[in-house]
Amino acid sequence: MSEFQRSSGLGAAARVTAIAGSVMDLHVRIALQEADREKRRLISGGIFLAMGGSLMLMALIGVEVALVLWMQENWGWDLLFASLVMAIINMFFAGVSLRIGGQLAKGPYLPETFEGLARTTKAVFGKS
Protein backbone atom coordinates (compact mmCIF):
# COMPACT_ATOMS: atom_id res chain seq x y z
CA MET A 1 0.00 0.00 0.00
CA SER A 2 1.52 3.32 -1.01
CA GLU A 3 1.82 6.37 1.24
CA PHE A 4 -0.85 8.19 -0.81
CA GLN A 5 -3.39 5.37 -0.35
CA ARG A 6 -2.79 5.33 3.40
CA SER A 7 -3.14 9.09 3.74
CA SER A 8 -6.34 9.19 1.65
CA GLY A 9 -7.82 6.43 3.81
CA LEU A 10 -6.99 8.40 6.93
CA GLY A 11 -8.50 11.50 5.31
CA ALA A 12 -11.80 9.70 4.78
CA ALA A 13 -11.80 8.49 8.37
CA ALA A 14 -11.09 12.04 9.52
CA ARG A 15 -14.02 13.33 7.46
CA VAL A 16 -16.40 10.76 8.93
CA THR A 17 -15.16 11.59 12.42
CA ALA A 18 -15.61 15.30 11.73
CA ILE A 19 -19.19 14.71 10.55
CA ALA A 20 -20.07 12.64 13.60
CA GLY A 21 -18.49 15.15 15.98
CA SER A 22 -20.19 18.07 14.29
CA VAL A 23 -23.61 16.43 14.39
CA MET A 24 -23.25 15.54 18.06
CA ASP A 25 -22.07 19.06 18.93
CA LEU A 26 -24.96 20.58 17.02
CA HIS A 27 -27.54 18.30 18.61
CA VAL A 28 -26.23 18.92 22.13
CA ARG A 29 -26.07 22.69 21.55
CA ILE A 30 -29.67 22.82 20.30
CA ALA A 31 -30.92 20.63 23.16
CA LEU A 32 -29.17 22.85 25.72
CA GLN A 33 -30.69 25.98 24.18
CA GLU A 34 -34.17 24.47 24.37
CA ALA A 35 -33.61 23.37 27.97
CA ASP A 36 -32.40 26.82 29.00
CA ARG A 37 -35.39 28.54 27.40
CA GLU A 38 -37.97 26.30 28.99
CA LYS A 39 -36.32 25.26 32.24
CA ARG A 40 -39.28 26.10 34.51
CA ARG A 41 -41.75 24.22 32.31
CA LEU A 42 -39.42 21.23 32.09
CA ILE A 43 -38.86 21.11 35.86
CA SER A 44 -42.53 21.38 36.77
CA GLY A 45 -43.44 18.87 34.05
CA GLY A 46 -40.84 16.45 35.38
CA ILE A 47 -42.16 16.80 38.92
CA PHE A 48 -45.73 16.12 37.84
CA LEU A 49 -44.62 13.17 35.67
CA ALA A 50 -42.72 11.66 38.61
CA MET A 51 -45.70 12.19 40.92
CA GLY A 52 -48.09 10.65 38.39
CA GLY A 53 -45.76 7.73 37.80
CA SER A 54 -45.44 7.05 41.52
CA LEU A 55 -49.19 7.16 42.03
CA MET A 56 -49.73 4.91 39.00
CA LEU A 57 -47.23 2.41 40.43
CA MET A 58 -49.05 2.40 43.77
CA ALA A 59 -52.38 1.84 41.99
CA LEU A 60 -50.88 -0.99 39.93
CA ILE A 61 -49.57 -2.70 43.06
CA GLY A 62 -52.99 -2.39 44.69
CA VAL A 63 -54.74 -3.86 41.64
CA GLU A 64 -52.27 -6.74 41.47
CA VAL A 65 -52.71 -7.58 45.16
CA ALA A 66 -56.49 -7.55 44.69
CA LEU A 67 -56.18 -9.73 41.57
CA VAL A 68 -53.97 -12.28 43.37
CA LEU A 69 -56.45 -12.42 46.26
CA TRP A 70 -59.31 -12.83 43.77
CA MET A 71 -57.45 -15.69 42.03
CA GLN A 72 -56.95 -17.40 45.39
CA GLU A 73 -60.57 -17.01 46.42
CA ASN A 74 -62.33 -17.85 43.15
CA TRP A 75 -60.02 -20.40 41.57
CA GLY A 76 -58.50 -21.92 44.70
CA TRP A 77 -54.92 -21.13 43.69
CA ASP A 78 -52.25 -20.87 46.35
CA LEU A 79 -50.31 -17.63 46.85
CA LEU A 80 -47.16 -18.81 45.06
CA PHE A 81 -48.96 -19.93 41.91
CA ALA A 82 -51.11 -16.78 41.71
CA SER A 83 -48.00 -14.62 42.19
CA LEU A 84 -46.16 -16.49 39.43
CA VAL A 85 -49.09 -15.98 37.04
CA MET A 86 -49.05 -12.24 37.81
CA ALA A 87 -45.28 -12.12 37.29
CA ILE A 88 -45.63 -13.80 33.88
CA ILE A 89 -48.38 -11.37 32.87
CA ASN A 90 -46.19 -8.45 34.01
CA MET A 91 -43.20 -9.75 32.05
CA PHE A 92 -45.29 -10.06 28.91
CA PHE A 93 -46.62 -6.51 29.12
CA ALA A 94 -43.18 -5.17 30.07
CA GLY A 95 -41.68 -6.79 26.97
CA VAL A 96 -44.41 -5.39 24.72
CA SER A 97 -43.99 -1.93 26.26
CA LEU A 98 -40.21 -1.98 25.87
CA ARG A 99 -40.50 -3.10 22.26
CA ILE A 100 -42.97 -0.33 21.38
CA GLY A 101 -41.02 2.27 23.35
CA GLY A 102 -37.78 1.29 21.62
CA GLN A 103 -39.39 1.72 18.21
CA LEU A 104 -40.83 5.12 19.15
CA ALA A 105 -37.54 6.38 20.57
CA LYS A 106 -35.46 5.82 17.44
CA GLY A 107 -33.82 8.62 15.51
CA PRO A 108 -33.09 12.29 16.03
CA TYR A 109 -36.14 14.46 16.57
CA LEU A 110 -34.98 18.02 16.03
CA PRO A 111 -35.26 19.39 12.46
CA GLU A 112 -32.17 21.49 13.14
CA THR A 113 -30.21 18.26 13.52
CA PHE A 114 -31.16 17.16 10.00
CA GLU A 115 -30.29 20.59 8.59
CA GLY A 116 -26.96 20.62 10.40
CA LEU A 117 -26.13 17.13 9.18
CA ALA A 118 -26.90 18.13 5.59
CA ARG A 119 -24.79 21.30 5.84
CA THR A 120 -21.87 19.48 7.46
CA THR A 121 -21.95 16.68 4.90
CA LYS A 122 -21.98 19.17 2.03
CA ALA A 123 -19.10 21.12 3.57
CA VAL A 124 -16.96 18.05 4.18
CA PHE A 125 -17.47 16.61 0.71
CA GLY A 126 -17.18 19.99 -1.03
CA LYS A 127 -20.66 20.11 -2.51
CA SER A 128 -22.63 23.34 -2.61
Query: Are 86 and 64 contacting, i.e. CB atoms less than 8 angstroms apart?
Result: yes
Q: pTM higher than 0.75, yes or no?
A: no
What's the pLDDT score for residue 108?
62
| Each residue's pLDDT tens digit, 28-64 | 888 888 777 777 787 888 899 999 999 999 999 999 9
What's the pLDDT score for residue 34?
78
Domain ranges of the chain: 3-125
Query: Are 18 and 124 contacting, i.e. CB atoms less than 8 angstroms apart?
Result: yes
